[in-house]
Structure formats: structure tokens, C-alpha cells
Structure 1
Amino acid sequence: MPLVPQDTAGRAGALRDAAAGTAWRSPLLDRLGSHDRHLFQTFGSGPRRAVPHTRVHHAIERHAAARPRAVAAEHLGETITYGELDRRAGHLAARLARLGVRPGDRVALFTRRSIPMLVGLLAILKAGAAYVPQDTGIAPAAQLRHILRVTRARVVLTHSAHAHRVPAADGVTVLAVDELPPGSGGGTPGRPRGTGPAEPAPEDGCYVLFTSGTTGTPNGVTVTHANVCNLLLTRPGSLGIRPGDRVAQILSIAFDMASWEILGALCHGATLVVRGRDIAAAVRGADIVIATPTVLSTIDPDTCDRVRTVAVAGEPCPRALADRWARRAVFHNGCGPTETTIVNTMQLHTPAAARLTIGRPTPNNTVYVLDEHRRPLPIGETGEMWAGGAGVSAGYLGNPELTAERYAPDPFLGPGHTMFRTRDLGRWTPDGELEHLGRTDDQVKIRGFRVELDSVSAVLESLDGCVRAATVKLDDRHLVSFVTPATLSGEAARAAVAAALPYYCVPAAVHALEALPQTSRGKIDKAALRALAMARAGGAP
């Protein structure tokens, strides 16, 4: 009879996959003492929850049927109701089916934020395919060509104003969604009438997101319907979104957190507030905000009386930023790479909390803190976080070598289950929450000593008045840090690091800037900062 751990103090009990109900068992646990083995099992298991839908578009269609006149989205004065969104997407899905799109296929969504973008996205899902989003205002042509080649997409949906940015490719049909008549395509709303099956399996792709990749070549991650439904349709990932709520859509559509905004709103019958140029305006008019800490730090919470719930992820969050927003709204701090479906851990943070953590595994997910040999570590020891359970995605598209490197059989959930190497460092607190301690690729050697760059930035962000901080390696002997706002004293900031960390962690300089550069996904652009550090050092410290 396999061991099935029991719930402890309200935390997760048996580590099980929601679909298979597999109990946690592994001889690797025998290397731990009985107390650590029990806590490793208990802390590492998200609660087991039933998921009401296994295809994302089914949840959206339910709201379209129940409240067809409710506003699904608004953008720059234009609105679309759920009934109209469902009808237009159904007709376009029929058109896609006639073009040969089938379950398991990928359809490129090369466009910018707009209501036609949402019609195209839902149509792709209704046709059974996975959508591949890219912002044509940002993505270079070479990247778009690479994505078409890797995904083998035969159809590109775009907006007429951006169609000229879609690279020409043999055998690829380009459709401008905004130029299609609202009833074009034939068929009926809800389900396309086409040749062949249109309904995807839960294990089929919902979307394909391209990550930056360590070599500079984007890698496509296939995230399934089952993955997405597990996060968005269970708490806390559902964020308490309900019909009538307004959810801000402020992030790049090529970033997986934008899927949390878009699909999270539509799956729960809310109104998606698609921003124009003014991010703060969209946030002020919303009840729910999902953002990176860098984006959130540009917005004054005192001007956002309507905001009820905030969720951040994508990069470490400064404690001061979390506290400031948590005084006004429900605040979730999350963590998880694209490969584990947006986030796989979340903390409900309050200013009174002893520490800011990334919380516990979300429902039907697992997290393991392992050593370099993938063996479980005792509670409190720092190791690399591996993710298991319902959020683990289907791997890298067309790259079996990288998939084999980053995904591995899950020895804790057993045969048929996969775990993912996040490359995040962490440790369990005594009360069963995860502390994020940087990334393995953010560990650098300075004067022969190992330094975690995020630990230096965390000291800087604890200073009064500091909004954001980032640290980069200049060379084998020197670090350079950047802080905002520009009114901060670089020397005082450097002295604070010297008082808190060993000498080899102290940056050679701390530069105060009005704002830190951002990537297209709203994260701190460390490559740009390193170039700035080199320039200010004249090529040498």
C-alpha cells in the first residue's frame, strides 16, 4: 500500500495528480529523516482540486451563452459583447477549418492589442488549434520568420494595419481579422462547421509561447488546455474574478502573463480592459491587475481606488512594493516559468507577514527542492526548485534535445509524470512557504566567490525610497548596481550593501536612474544595464 501523507495544519495533504490520483512515493525520500520526509511531502503538494473545464474556450462559451449582452472587452472606446465575440469567433473558426486547420495545429496570431486580436484568439481555440501570439509592433521580422518555421503554421491572423509586417512565406495564408465581415466564414457560433474534427483534447496545445532562450534563439513552449484550465479555473489562480469585474490587459501579448490577463478575464465572464498607450489609465479603471513588479512599480496605488486584487510574477518583487499594494488590495506574489504554466506557486501577502515569499504550490501542482543530483533536500536547505503536476507543459516545440535537458521523469509522482527544472533557487520556510533565492544563471563568481545577484538587489530595495534595483556582473572582480529613482544616493546605497553583505558582494558603483530599462515583457532589461555599466566604466572598471 503506497504512503499517502495526511493534511497538516490546513496545508496540502497527499501529493497527487488531480487526473490520475497518483500517490507520492519514491525511494529517494529514504535519504531524509522521517520528519523532513513528512514535511517534504506535505509542503511540496498543492491542494487537490477539481477543474470544471478541460478546454479553455468551453469556459468562455458558457459565459457567452449565459450573458450574451455582457461586455467582454473594451479598447480605446470600442467594445464587444460576449455574444458578438462568440459569434464572430465561431464564424472565423469555420473559415480556419476550411483552410485545413485541425486540432494539434498552430495558428500564428501576429497582431497588436485590439478587439480583433481577441476574436482571432478565440477562433483559433474553437478550431482546435493553439494560438502563437507575437506583437508585430515589437517583434523583428527574423523572429517572426523563425516562429513560422518552428510552428509550421499555415495560417496567420493579423490586423490590417500590421499585415505588412508579417513575413511572406510559401504555403501560409494571411487573414486580417478586422477586414473579415462579421458573419464571414459560414458555420454557427460556438462550434465551426468544417471538414474533420474541431474539438481539441485536453492535452492539445492552447498556446505556444516563445521564451528568449539561453542562446538567443527563441524556444517555443507548448502549453496545453489542461495546463491552462488548471491554473485559471482554480483558486488562487482564478484571482476571484467574476462576471462584472474589469481586468486590465497591460502586458505584451507575447508574454505568458498576458494569457493570464486575457483568458483569466474571459473564462470568468469579466470585462477585459485592453490598454492603449497609457498603462496607468487601464489599471485605474480595473478591479483586477496582473503585472510584473517592474511594471507595477510605475503605478501609484494611491490613484487606484478601484483595484481590488493584484498579482505579480515574472521576476522578484521588492518587499516595499508588495507591502504598499497589499495595504490597498488583495496581493498575490507568484512564481513560475512559462514551462510550468504562468505560475505554479502563489503567496497571499499582507504587510504583517514575517517575510515575502512565493508561497505554496497551486492546486494539483508540486514543487521539489533538490540538490544537484536531483535528490530531496531537508527542509530549510537551499536547492534548485523542480516543478511537477498539472502545470508542467508539453515541452519545447521542435527541440527534443532541450526538452530532454529541462524535463525529466518525475520520481515522486511516478511513471507517466514529468517534472521541470525551473533553474530557480529556493528553500522551504518552517511554516511551509517557498523563499525564492535567485536563479542558477544569476549566480556569478566574483573574486572566486559565488554571489547571487538578486541578494545584492534585495538589500538595495530595502532602502527607504528605493523603488527598484538591479545588479549585473561587470567582470570577474566587479559588480555594478542600478537603483531608482534618480534622487537616491549611490554612495549611501553602496554603503548599505557593505554593511549587510560580504565585501565581494559590494558593487563597485551604484548608479541612480530615473527608471530602469524594460524588456518588451515588462521585466528589468539586464542586458541593457550591463551595456550601460560598461559604457560608464569606459570598458573597464
Structure 2
Amino acid sequence: MFQEAALRDLPPADRDLFEAFGAGPIRTPPFHHIHHAFETQAARRPHVTAVEHLGESLTYAELDAKAELMAELLTRAGVRPGDRVGLFLTRSISMVVGILAVLKAGAAYVPQDVRITPEAHLRHIVRTARINVVLTTTTDAAALPGHLATIITIDTLPDVSTFCRSITTDSDIAAVIFTSGTTGRPNGVRVSHANLCNVLLTEPGSLGISTGTRVSQLLNIAFDMAVWEILGTLAHGGTLVIRGDDIEQAASTVDVVIATPSVLASLNPQVCHRVRTVAVAGERCPQVLADLWSRHAVFHNACGPTEVTIVNTIQRYEPDTRQLTIGSPVPNTTVYVLDDDLRPCRIGDVGEMWAGGACVTEGYLGDDALTEQRYLPDPFLGGDHLMFRTRDLGSWTADGQLRHHGRTDDQVKVRGFRVELDSVTSALEQAPDCRRATTVVHNGKLVGFISPATAAPEQARHAVAQRLPYYCVPALIVPVDTLPTTDRGKVDRRALLSRLDRLQPEPAQKETVA
């Protein structure tokens, strides 16, 4: 499968394993467009509940009918196949109607939560994506800045039983997900229908969801993992349970939870005793969290930035092994561990992970220069295939699992030594009574935060000293009740740095030397 010329620097044994480990299984998704999977479910099971939110619900037939009508209104408003439509609102049943309507109209939806997205970012997104129409609700419309685009409210659909549906064609791009950019401006990633079908309609990304399986919708709608929650549920006939203000209340009523580790850590498995399947991604998963939830449910640890379509590696964690990894490539995709010169690393060596195959997205909207930096020709698959630079560090285990070693942009220099922040965090979490931790650099020194606040800093410091070189031991360890999170459910390191800036200077601690 892989081009032999690209593997010539590896010994023969490593060459075989590089190919065997790096290529996911070959599978054929049953659909090429993700909303076609939903439409099939609506035709087969019209009376199954598709979505619930705060006591309201729609069946598959009702949801499909509303989405069809909304799609027709979009078409009459001038939306054409290949256009991009803003979905600027808060989570609701109308949000789901809007997503399906945009896809049915042949366009791509661009989601943002109006409660938390700054006006400057909304305007940047509208300009970058060339959005002419924004879908919202009557309540959320009041939060939108003026003169943004043509505003259409989903919850004021006319009460009609029959209408003439315009013929539209499907587009290749399903969504444009804006990620945080290096310049402070978000970057729009074009996610294709084919890539969504590949990860959501094949195992393990399908998560065993079937008719009536209840799946929570907990995450920010602008986050790519919300696509997994929403479309991954509706494509399989499940029931999407959209949360209100109480995350745990919604999670306590479902069978499947998809979340970041930070969000999952806020849930009590004893309260959420119905949950039988959990999938986490978006940030490093603590071992203790995997051990806790895997005693109650099938636990999947996944990894992958938005640019490789939600996730591109998944592990089904087996608690007896205590080997938490990020798994192996999902079907029809590849992962390469490469050195700085883009040459294959030997099995077991740490390198940067590049992703290829059916996960690679269409690049950044309106930023060809950045696309050319991060998306390169794939020398292993050849042809016109591209591979994406994830900036994640990884290595292969002897049995073909990927270990995550942090990110290249999490590598910092402290006292002249290169330190991986995730390695320090992992060591902190080995301390007794420490459930979660994170590490930042403040004024040139390592600072660890441990949770809960009852965890002992000295024990955490000792846990790091036992496992890592002396220069990795944080100069300061701060116990906190909980670690703050961003609106996308990840640990908010900026908030922690701001907290440090507000603290009074502490007496200098004696640093260990080699």
C-alpha cells in the first residue's frame, strides 16, 4: 500500500510494522453524504424520537419535515449548493433543524454559539466564509451584531403541510469549523461529507449507536466534537438529548457520552449510571479518569485535530492492561510518525504524527498560505493524496498502539532543558488524591495545578521527581477545587496564568539541581 521509496530509510522489520501499524482497516461507508444517512433513518423509523431538549421533542419524521421546509426557505432566500450558511445560536432543537436544513440545501453550515463568540470574531467568520445568510432563533437574534447578514429565524417556520421542494444538488463540504488561530483570528476548516461519513458511519467511530440509543449533546456547537454528538446520533437512528444548564442532568439520562476529558471529569459515574459507552477527545485524558469510567462503561480514548475530521485515532481502553493510548487509525486513514526531516521514525521512537487518507480535510478557508504549510503531498500514499501535520508527538507501542507524548507547541525550554508539559502533567496525576492536573510556564518557571484542592503539593512534587528529571519538577504547585475550562471544554491555561498573575509573590523555593 505504501510507496516503497518513502520507506527506504527504515530497516526491513520496521518498514513492515510502519505500514501495518500506520494504515487503518479498509471499510466502505454506507453513504457519501451524512444527511442521507439521517433521511434513511427518518424513512425507516419515522416515529422514533430524534431529539429532546428541556421537555420538548421531535420524532424523525417531524425533524425531517421541518428540515425540508427550512431547506426550501433557504433555497428561496438565495442559498445555492456550495454556499456557506451561518448557524449562530445557542443549543436547541432549532439548532438541529438548522444543521439538517443547510445540508439538504446543498450548503455547508458554520456553527457558532452567540452567547460566547465575540462580535469581532463573528464578523471575521462572516467575511472569511462569505456568509450571506445566518440561521438563528428569535431569542438569539437579539444577541447578533447589526448588519451581519440576512437573518432567518428557524423557530418561526410557517405552519404548512405541503409545499413544492426545489431541486438542489449536494455539495462536497458539510461544515466549516473555525478553530483558534495562531494570530488570534479563528481559522475555518472545510470538513467534507465523505470524511464525516468515514469516521461516523464506520466502527469504532459509530460507537455502537443504533435505533433509540440515547446520546447526550453537551459540547459547544462550534466545537468539531459536537458534530460527532449530533450527526453521529442522527445517522444511526439514535435519540439526541440536548442539555440545558445542568450538564449532569442530561448525561444521567443517556447511554452514550461524547466529551472532552475536562467535561467528563465534571460528571459522576454513579449519577450517570445508565451510560454504557464513553468517548473522549480534544485533550490529554488522565489515566485515573479512564480507569474510573471504564469500570462502568466501554471507554474510548481518541485523538485528532479538526483538520483530520474530529478524530483519526481511537482506542477502546481495557482497564486490566492499564495501557492508555490514543489507539490506532480509524478506517481508510493513515498515521505516520516522522522526524523533523519528514523521514519515518523507527518503531518506538518519538516523532511528530502526520495524518493521511480519508480523514484529511479540504484545508483552511481563505488562507492558502497556511494550508500549504500544514497540508503536504503524502509520499507514502502517493498520487494526489495529502497528509496533515498534527503537531502531536507520538510513538508506536510494540503491538501497534499510539502513545501520545504531548504537542510540539507544548515543548518548552526551562532552565535550558526541553520539557514536555503533558509529561509533567501526567506525572502530577500519579500523586495520591490528585484526580486532574495541568502544567503551565509562568515567568520562565514550571507551575503545576492539581485538583481537588485537598491534594497535597508535596506529594505531587514527589511524584514528578520520581518519574522525570529534576528540571521537570514544578517550582510551584497550586491545589485548586476544579480546573477552569474553555467554552470548548478543554483546560483553560490562560485563565490559570491570569490567576498566577494575581497571586502575591511567594518566597523563592529552593530548586533541585543535578
Q: Do 1:26 and 1:411's aligned partners in 2 also have CA atoms closer than 8 Å? A: no
Instruction: Specify the code of the residue in structure 1 equivalent to 2:49.
Output: V
Cα offsets for 1:70-104 (capped at 9, x unmatched) = 11000000001110111111011111112221221
Q: Determine which of 156, 165, 169 is the counterpart of 1:179.
A: 156
TM (normalized to structure 1)? 0.92
Ranges in structure 2 where 5+ consecutive residues have no aligned partner:
509-514
- Residue 357 (structure 1) shift: 0.2
Aligned to 2:395: 427
SS for the counterpart of 2:227 is helix
- Residue 537 (structure 1) shift: 5.4
Cα offsets for 1:160-209 (capped at 9, x unmatched) = 10102222336x2101111222439933xxxx415xxx2224xx211111
Q: In the alignment, is residue 199 of structure 1 matched against residue 172 of structure 2?
A: no
Q: In the alignment, is residue 168 of structure 1 matched against residue 168 of structure 2?
A: no
Q: In the alignment, is residue 500 of structure 1 matched against residue 464 of structure 2?
A: no
Q: Do 2:431 and 2:459's aligned partners in 1 also have CA atoms closer than 8 Å? A: no
Q: Do 1:327 and 1:350's aligned partners in 2 also have CA atoms closer than 8 Å? A: no
Closer/same/farther in 2, CA of residues 41 and 28 from structure 1, 3 Å limit: same
Question: RMSD over aligned Cα, in angstroms?
Answer: 1.4
Q: In the alignment, is residue 514 of structure 1 matched against residue 475 of structure 2?
A: no
Q: In the alignment, is residue 357 of structure 1 matched against residue 325 of structure 2?
A: yes
Q: Determine which of 73, 82, 85 is the counterpart of 1:95.
A: 73
Work out the CA distance in 2 between the residues paired with 1:436 and 1:291: 18
Instruction: Specify the code of the residue in structure 1 equivalent to 2:152.
Output: L
Work out the CA distance in 1 between the residues paired with 2:274 and 2:259: 16
- Residue 428 (structure 1) shift: 0.3
Cα offsets for 1:6-52 (capped at 9, x unmatched) = xxxxxxxxxxxxxxxxx321412011010000000000000000110
SS for the counterpart of 1:265 is helix
Paired residues, number = 508
Q: Determine which of 112, 119, 137 is the counterpart of 2:115.
A: 137
Q: Determine which of 24, 30, 42 is the counterpart of 1:64.
A: 42
SS for the counterpart of 1:302 is coil
Moved more, 530-539 or 227-236: 530-539
Q: Do 2:429 and 2:460's aligned partners in 1 also have CA atoms closer than 8 Å? A: no
SS for the counterpart of 1:109 is strand
Q: In the alignment, is residue 416 of structure 1 matched against residue 384 of structure 2?
A: yes
Work out the CA distance in 2 between the residues paired with 1:459 and 1:439: 16
**What are the equivalent positions in structure 2 for 1:132-531 lying under 5 Å apart?**
132-169=110-147, 172-183=149-160, 186-187=163-164, 192-194=165-167, 198-201=168-171, 204-476=172-444, 478-531=445-498
Work out the CA distance in 2 between the residues paired with 1:180 and 1:244: 27
Work out the CA distance in 1 between the residues paired with 2:41 and 2:487: 32
Aligned to 2:62: 84
TM (normalized to structure 2)? 0.97
Q: Do 1:158 and 1:175's aligned partners in 2 also have CA atoms closer than 8 Å? A: yes
Q: Do 2:84 and 2:108's aligned partners in 1 also have CA atoms closer than 8 Å? A: yes
Q: Do 2:349 and 2:395's aligned partners in 1 also have CA atoms closer than 8 Å? A: yes
Closer/same/farther in 2, CA of residues 502 and 142 from structure 1, 3 Å limit: same
Q: In the alignment, is residue 110 of structure 1 matched against residue 88 of structure 2?
A: yes
Cα offsets for 1:268-297 (capped at 9, x unmatched) = 011000000110111110001000001101
Q: Do 2:432 and 2:459's aligned partners in 1 also have CA atoms closer than 8 Å? A: no
Q: Determine which of 11, 14, 20 is the counterpart of 1:42.
A: 20
SS for the counterpart of 1:252 is coil
Closer/same/farther in 2, CA of residues 96 and 184 from structure 1, 3 Å limit: farther
Q: In the alignment, is residue 532 of structure 1 matched against residue 484 of structure 2?
A: no
Closer/same/farther in 2, CA of residues 537 and 445 from structure 1, 3 Å limit: farther
- Residue 463 (structure 1) shift: 2.0
Closer/same/farther in 2, CA of residues 181 and 458 from structure 1, 3 Å limit: same
Work out the CA distance in 2 between the residues paired with 1:347 and 1:310: 11
- Residue 213 (structure 1) shift: 1.1
Work out the CA distance in 2 between the residues paired with 1:183 and 1:73: 21
